Amino acid sequence: MKSIMKKSLQSLLAIPVLALAISLAVPVLQPVVAQAATATCSTDTKTGITGGAQCAQGTGQGSELFGPDGIFRTITNVMLYVIGAISVIMLIIGGIRYTISNGDSGAITNAKNTILYAVIGIVVAILAYALVNFVITSFAGNGTV
């Protein structure tokens, strides 16, 4: 009975995880593919290292590493979203495991540990986000990002 419940729970959780992964990958990859298809560069006007870097940059692509549209900010936001989603899923799994433990002390301990580690994961993700924002603000120069 437990193996059937475990398999059905895994299959139920696999669907939202796959949907989340696809929803994160499609918007991120779509502009890159579109920019790569439309990027053209004439070798006459762009020479040297700077010219090569400008040629490699797609149209409409940000050139800032730091700032509101910077690469580091985007990566941090995506990672925080993924970690938060995984932590919430683990909280739900821990709650379900706690509910179906039937008084088994080992299962209760494992369920509590799952919930505890999910909460710790959320706290670490929030602290990492705050640290990255502090560093980005420090490197931005004027303090307004």
Q: What's CA 54's distance to the chain center, in Å?
A: 28
Q: Are residues 92 and 111 in the same domain?
A: yes
pLDDT in tens, 56-82: 666 666 566 556 667 777 888 888 888
Q: Are residues 54 and 121 in the same domain?
A: no
**143 occurs within a structural domain:** yes
How far apart are the C-alpha atoms of 8 and 27, rounded to whole Å? 30
How far apart are the C-alpha atoms of 59 and 34, rounded to whole Å? 9
CA dist list (Å): 70 to 81, 133, 144: 17, 11, 13
Say which DSSP state 142 is in.
Answer: S
**7 occurs within a structural domain:** no
pLDDT higher than threshold 90 for residue 47 = no
**Residue 42 Rama label (left phi>0; alpha psi -120 to 50; beta):** beta
* Residue where a domain terminates, one of 34, 62, 90: 62
Instruction: Give the DSSP per-residue string, 21-61.
Output: HHHHHHHHHHHHHHHHHH----TTT--HHHHHHHHHSPTT-
**3 occurs within a structural domain:** no
Total count of domains within the chain: 2
Q: What's CA 101's distance to the chain center, in Å?
A: 32
pLDDT higher than threshold 80 for residue 117 = yes
State residue 143's pLDDT score. 45
Domain hosting 32: range is 23-62
**5 occurs within a structural domain:** no
Q: Are residues 79 and 29 in the same domain?
A: no
Query: Cβ of 114: how many Cβ atoms within 10 Å?
Result: 19
pLDDT in tens, 91-114: 999 999 999 998 899 999 999 999
pLDDT > 70 in the chain, percent:
50
The model carries a pTM of 0.51
